[in-house]
Structure 1
Amino acid sequence: MAGSTFGTLFKITTWGESHGAGVGVVVDGCPAGLSLCEEDIQKFLNRRKPGQSRYTTPRKEDDAVEILSGVFEGKTTGTPISMLVRNQNQRSKDYSEIASYYRPGHADLTFDLKYGFRDYRGGGRSSGRETIGRVAAGAIACKILDQLGIKILTYTKSIGDITADPACFDRSVIMENPFYMPDADAAKKAGEFLEECMKNEDSSGGSIECVIQNMPAGIGEPVFEKLSANLGKAILSIGAVKAFEIGDGTAVAHALGHINNDQYTRNPDGKIIKLTNHSGGILGGISDGSDILLRVSVKPTPSISREQSTITKDGGSRQISVKGRHDPVIVPRAVVVVESMAAITLVDMLMCSITSNMTNLERFFRK
């Protein structure tokens, strides 16, 4: 299977299956000398692990990370960093029946069509547990960005029709509700909405916003390696993500040029700034120094108890009700995954940008 590696200089390779011995990641290209310990990684993994509220799968996993290589005496050595999270609470028998049919909304059919064989236990490589490796790598990327003064704030924008009100935005409440919403009232309504979904044996989709602050201008290439394009590839590689926007996103289709254009001025220090940020911090595929704003649409959890129609492997028709332990909404646990993939992309493109002009090279190498 190809396609498990992402990045050019800061490169990650995830591995493992939902019901195998474990899942993990190898991070190559991390600079030597970065302070790093398992606790740094665990903080991120705790944000995506199951069983934290009634709105996540009851599968009980500690998701305890082990750093196997690339760190010595609390600092990275510059060699590949390998990290492992062992699976401890598999219940593969919950999935034995689905070997004979294709679940609506899952990759069962496409895996069989491509490979002629699939690991049906929880979805194998298509399982949400694959994102553990991304989050572990993202924790390292975020630590690198933090040392460069670049900050990322990611949160749930909406669940179903319940949307966080920008007028009620409160950063302090994001970590205080099970949905990671910045609006306490919206979080309460989201809980009530999901209770109805669960009662109806159904699930819900939603959206996530990510704000990147203090990103320097000039990152990204103008053609195929655009910062916007690579962020899009990174975020859209997350299994449940179905749409990706930057800045005003799809709203630009209804905008007029004189409104959509971000006009320029100078601040009191003489620095060029934009009066608005409809572009979301990226112009011509290159960061412009303003906040980068991403928006992500996440589909409803495909595994639901409600009866659905499907086809068996031998061509027959049948009705199914998906058994097992599933989230009624994917969005809250996907927040840190979106943040991680954004961070990985930013670190990689920051590294790649060093060769963009002679000034950068002279700064590092001229004696």
Structure 2
Amino acid sequence: MANSWDGVDLRNMIVEHEKLSFIQRYACLIGRFAAFDITAPNAGLRGEVEKSIMAFTAEQLAGNCSFLMSIRFLARQTRGMFDAGPRLARLLASHQRWLLTQTAYALHLEYDPRDPTSGFTAVRLTGRITAHKVASRNTVLAFIEELYTYRFITHTPGDERRRPRHFEPAIVSHQAMFTWIHVNLAALDLLDGGERAAFFQANPALMKLVQPRIARHCLEDAAWREPPEQVAQFLWTEAGGLVVDNFIARMEPEETEAGKFLVGRVETRALAADFMMSRTHLQRLLAKAAQRGCVGWHDEPRKTRLWISQGFVEEYSAWQAVKFAYVDEAFEWAKARIEELAV
């Protein structure tokens, strides 16, 4: 049956939800597809899909002279996400929280009604995170409590008193995750003129396939899970990712001098307030980075006009290439799988 999976008519499902907002349609589609095991291996189909994938590798991305443009685009879009929802955006602002958030969301999408222990539960998230030494059990539980307190997640209806207790993302969390993947795909499109972002926007049910695959690969690959030293000093700290995004978004690749990219005027008091972090914490972070030669100031001792080193940018770009490669691979894999199933 064209445009259907096991008798589920995709076209009718989408038309049925046209009167709802886009993100409501996405959430409904995800809920409807939860009953279908579209990620289960299929011996004949899976082999053909795997062979047909044509995605960028991390090495190709890192060696692409235009890749920095894509990274700057993503950094600027991330800033827009922060402005739209600062507290929620901070969940992706440190690498530990990024891994926790992506893994928790993936567990939710991987829920199998035939297996009551599957899905997003405290036990499942703790097990997956601690297995890779990303965070302690107490840190995971505190993270879940924070998500619940700020209503970024809710209890699955009917599970309030059951064990294990299941959680599911709130609508705002669905929207944020969808936007994050969408802008990553748009950044990849800048490299080859592709239409990944448009296809993803038009086919929101792809999320059920794409996001868990990205999350799993990123968590399991030490090249992404454990950032290189210069990058790690920012990314393992609270709001450190926001600071790096700010510098990358503002730097001028054309204005380089002796291996330094100009970022421009940086007022630590204003920047700290903007990202809801202490000024002391930001100043210490910049001081440590300056000692390593990652950043510096053109106007010592006033310290207002910041530069960022070419070495740091290259290391950050190579690290980002790992994640972007997994995003591209997951998208191409999911797209090919859906197209095969729809025939």
TM-score bin (small chain):
under 0.3
Task: Report the TM-score when normalising by structure 1.
Answer: 0.25
Task: Report the TM-score when normalising by structure 2.
Answer: 0.26
Bigger relative CO (Cα 8 Å, ≥ 6 apart): 2
Structure having the larger proportion of residues in strand: 1
Structure having the larger proportion of residues in helix: 2
